[in-house]
Amino acid sequence: ELQADLDIVSNRVRTVTTNASSARAETDLASDDHYAQANINVTVNNGGQSIGVICRKDTTATLTFYLADLDWNADTTRLFRCVTGSFTSLGSDVATTLVETTQFLLRLTVDGSTLSTTVDGVAKHTGVTDTNIVDNLRCGIRGHGGVELGEWDDIEAGDVVAATDGGGPRS
């Protein structure tokens, strides 16, 4: 954990405190072109819950990363750059109908200087560019809101793989 408190409850990660909570994987990916995704939900929306995934986190406790989150208070998908704990919004917040106790698959992809987000496979942010965070090889999760209200399940991270031509016969 990087800040605050997260627990494993019923095989899911759950927020424990009302403060911001962040955690990162302890294994590097092969490159800083990668994605993070998770099924996320809020069990009760008492206002102020935001649950998300982070990319380009380094090995230190310093809060520097890209964050995509779902904001249940405003029904939006948001995208941020966080450098040494200071958050900057990237792109516009995108309207997303969020229902408590319903899981949503949130994905953040960072490929070169281009960031994109999807919710349940539907593009929310595309072509957002930022060059402030490079070389960091880890991913993670971040939430903000009430005690035991935010949950992550099926957390996944991986490198962005270049498309191939399929390797079929050549003429």
- Judged against a pLDDT cut of 50, whether residue 44 lies above it is answered with yes
**The amino acid at 125:** H
Q: pLDDT tens across 51-92, in order? A: 999 999 999 999 999 999 999 889 999 999 999 999 999 999
9 CB contacts (<8 Å, ≥6 apart)? 148, 151
The per-residue pLDDT for 2 is 62
Q: For residues 57 and 27, give the distance between their C-alpha atoms in angstroms, rounded to a whole number.
A: 11
Q: Is 61 helix (H, G, I), strand (E, B) or coil?
A: coil
Instruction: Report yes or no: 97 and 90 within 8 Å, Cβ to Cβ.
Output: no
In 3-state terms, the chain is what percent helix, strand and coil (to 5)? 0, 55, 45
Looking at per-residue pLDDT, the higher value among 63 and 161 belongs to 63
The per-residue pLDDT for 148 is 57
Q: What is the pTM of this model?
A: 0.89
Looking at per-residue pLDDT, the higher value among 14 and 160 belongs to 160
Q: For residues 88 and 90, give the distance between their C-alpha atoms in angstroms, rounded to a whole number.
A: 6
Q: pLDDT tens across 102-142, in order? A: 999 999 999 999 999 999 999 999 999 999 999 999 999 99
Of these ranges, 7-11, 24-28, 69-73, 110-114, the one predicted with the greatest mean pLDDT is 110-114
